[in-house]
Amino acid sequence: MSAPLSYFITTLGCVKNQADSRQMALSLQKRGLVLAADATTADVHVINSCAFIESARRETIAAILEAYDARQQTDQKLVVAGCFSQRYANEIKTELPEVDLAFGTGQYAAAGSLIVDRFEWQERLQEQEAGQRPALQSSPGSDLARLTRAGVSSRQSSSALETVWAPIKISDGCNRGCSFCAIPAMRGPFQSLAVDAILDEARLLIAQGVREICLVSQDTNHFGGQTEALVDLICRLDEIPGLEWQRLLYMYPDPLSLAVYRQLAPLKLRSFVPYLESPVQHVAPRVLRAMKRYGSMEFFTDFFGEIRSLYDQLEIRTALLCGFPTEGPAEVDAALQFIETVRPEKLALFSYSAEEGTAAWGLADPVPADEKACRVNLLRAAHLQVLQELHLQRLGRRYNCMIDKIDSDSTLTARRPQDAPDIDEQVFVELDPAARRHHWQPGQIVPLEINGFFEYDMSGRLVLESK
Ligand code: SF4
């Protein structure tokens, strides 16, 4: 009897892709495929792609060619799913013969059938099913659930990611129409996912050891068409036993996000962390107009200021896009002033890359690449100054942190509630002899006192109750 048909998923791009890869893993398992030990030995290798900007496209193409060269079985099937396939379906056919099958962003849940039908694996799977495996049941403790969670690997993810936190997608697509953004062309118009499906997925993940859920989408505050729907979802998630933390990502900086945070504050939900991720992209009126984005320096200052006042020790992650057409020295100064006034704890900085098919494509790309890089470095230096001052204020403070991973018997890595997985600061802890006698678990909440910092990350010590 030949080995069961196996798959492996490599996930590129944003955290939302991890949620989509998990859906594809579930779909493949339901057809009887099992997780391969690694990408090179799988019968089918699926690359969940990204095509957001030029550098992401290059990474996807490199991953495809690398996967093709690295495969140990020459009859391995290579599949490309997601944004790159959605945007370049024809080009893949003509320019990437290495790819055996490509499907877009709306077909993750159908991955199993698309792949089995394309490669005519029905008979082989029936034999496999008859000869080898009991029927698969989708109950939390089942193999399926364990395999589901372990079905994907991501280039940038560490092993710990697969144990303590998981992204759950609550909607797909976007209707905002920011002039620089190609995502709506790849993900389509906004649509919320079903509340029951989201809650089921959360229960499944929590039963498997996840202790933190990040709610992700392109446009999170539009979930359910009204703010009450998102607030209600967060309240229902808060009731699930075993969930320690829940976090909102991709909250567009507008009155809708403000309304959500205003409605949640008095509820003082046990699991809702004091964290706001809200990318402004820019603050100068001329640039915001050209980006077709909402907001102003005044609105952002009030927006972040009010949300900070509603939650104890809330921290902010935002993003600035540098070098957009219409950005001149005055606009860069406005961005600097924003950093010094609003003092976001976390700041993502990007260089504008003109995207064909977007409204901004017509504006050309007048800012030279090296000038964009200078502006990014200027803003980064300003933010590092702010972060240095914030780090000094954090010294000696205590936080109930989540253990992400146990590195060895004397060190562990953790995060404060104010730090999102994979993108924000971590706290490194050296365990003293007394602490080493304890059996620590990823996902456990432990009291840490910050006693040092690096450029971004921090160090801390466990605050153990003296017997
Ligand atoms: S909000 Fe703007 S930047 Fe974000 S996905 Fe939608 S169009 Fe793109």
Q: Is 52 in the pocket of ligand 1 (CB under 6 A)?
A: no
What residue owns the CA closest to ligand 1's atom 4? 218
Q: Is 212 in the pocket of ligand 1 (CB under 6 A)?
A: no
What averages of pLDDT result for each successive group of 10 residues across the chain (467 residues)?
Answer: 90 94 95 94 96 93 94 85 96 94 95 97 92 48 42 42 86 96 95 96 96 97 96 98 98 98 98 98 97 98 98 98 95 98 97 93 88 97 98 98 89 97 96 87 96 97 77
In the prediction, which pLDDT does 362 show? 84
In the prediction, which pLDDT does 466 show? 60
Between the CA of 183 and the centroid of ligand 1 the distance, in Å, is 7
Class of domain 6-139: alpha beta
Q: Is 256 in the pocket of ligand 1 (CB under 6 A)?
A: no
How many C-beta atoms surround the C-beta of residue 292 within 10 A?
A: 14
User: Where do the domains of the chain lie?
Assistant: 6-139, 153-394, 398-462
In the prediction, which pLDDT does 438 show? 86
How many C-beta atoms surround the C-beta of residue 434 within 10 A?
A: 11
In the prediction, which pLDDT does 90 show? 94
Instruction: Name which of 420, 413, 150 is nearest 275 in CA terms.
Output: 420
2.60.40.2470, 2.40.30.170, 2.30.30.110, 2.40.50.140: which CATH number matches 398-462?
2.40.50.140
Between the CA of 227 and the centroid of ligand 1 the distance, in Å, is 18
In the prediction, which pLDDT does 131 show? 82
In the prediction, which pLDDT does 435 show? 87
Class of domain 153-394: alpha beta
Between the CA of 122 and the centroid of ligand 1 the distance, in Å, is 40
